[in-house]
A = this chain, B = another copy of it.
């Protein structure tokens, strides 16, 4: 399923509109450029829908929300829905405040998403049972039981919202409600750099523009490909005794060096 997808992204040069936080916007733009996509960052309500309407994909990110940015997301999301193109949602820290909870609720109601990506606590919250998976402490539970719970959560939430759901963690789970993929790529260092989640959500937007594969497979490919970059970045930067600054840079390097032959390292399985 992965054959040709990297090259398809590079050839399509999809225009990806990100309405995103100001902390990691630079990384998201550079990550999109690195895989051959063209980023546009525009978060004013006055222009968001117009710009989104010309783009190949839209990525909405809940980090550093503002009233204006949330309005822009809703307007842009609806426009891209009308155009029938992919919209990705990254509910960064959704349970951290009433403002985010309410903002996310309105977006989930007003916009149809093609894919939603978050960690276990974010996706649990969105799915309406925030206590069920122990929030941010989920990672400390027994891994096998936890993975079973993540698979069930991803699949059931995917069916509910008719979208591809991604729960990132040590093992990433991707489901469209029918298929469930477990992806065992990536490296723990990725969580020591801010924005790796945001970057992945942006990449998912770019990969979803490839028509030749099913959405769930395009999303799984993005997750796996970024995970491979995380592993290679570790080999280059961290094993050489360098720190998280170098690792951050190496991640972006590896995205730009990603080619078809990189896809051999992706460990995706039905689960």
A residues apposed to B, CB below 8 Å: 21-27, 29-30, 33-34, 39-44, 46-47, 50-51, 54, 63-68, 93, 96-100, 192-195, 242-246, 248-257
A255: chain B residues at CB < 8 Å are 243-245
A-B pairs with beta carbons under 8 Å apart, 21 shown: A24-B26, A30-B194, A34-B192, A34-B245, A40-B93, A41-B64, A42-B64, A42-B93, A42-B96, A44-B67, A44-B99, A47-B97, A50-B99, A51-B97, A243-B252, A243-B253, A243-B257, A244-B253, A244-B255, A245-B251, A249-B249
A249: chain B residues at CB < 8 Å are 245-246, 248-249
Q: How far is the CA of A54 from the CA of B33 in the complex (A)?
A: 36
Given contacts A33-B192, A50-B98, A245-B248, 13 further A-B contacts (CB under 8 A): A21-B41, A23-B26, A30-B194, A42-B65, A42-B97, A43-B66, A51-B97, A243-B253, A243-B257, A244-B255, A245-B253, A246-B249, A248-B252
A96: chain B residues at CB < 8 Å are 40, 42, 47, 50-51, 54
Other-chain residue from B27, B47, B194, B195 in contact with A99 (beta carbon distance below 8 A) = B47
Beyond A23-B41, A41-B63, A195-B26, whether A243 also contacts B248 by CB under 8 A is no
A23: chain B residues at CB < 8 Å are 25-26, 29, 41
Q: Are B192 and A256 in contact (CB under 8 A)?
A: yes
Beyond A30-B248, A257-B243, whether A66 also contacts B44 by CB under 8 A is yes
Beyond A50-B97, A99-B46, whether A29 also contacts B256 by CB under 8 A is no
A93: chain B residues at CB < 8 Å are 40, 42
Other-chain residue from B25, B243, B254, B257 in contact with A34 (beta carbon distance below 8 A) = B243
Q: How far is the CA of A39 from the CA of B24 in the complex (A)?
A: 13
Q: How far is the CA of A195 from the CA of B27 in the complex (A)?
A: 11
Q: Are A30 and B252 in contact (CB under 8 A)?
A: no
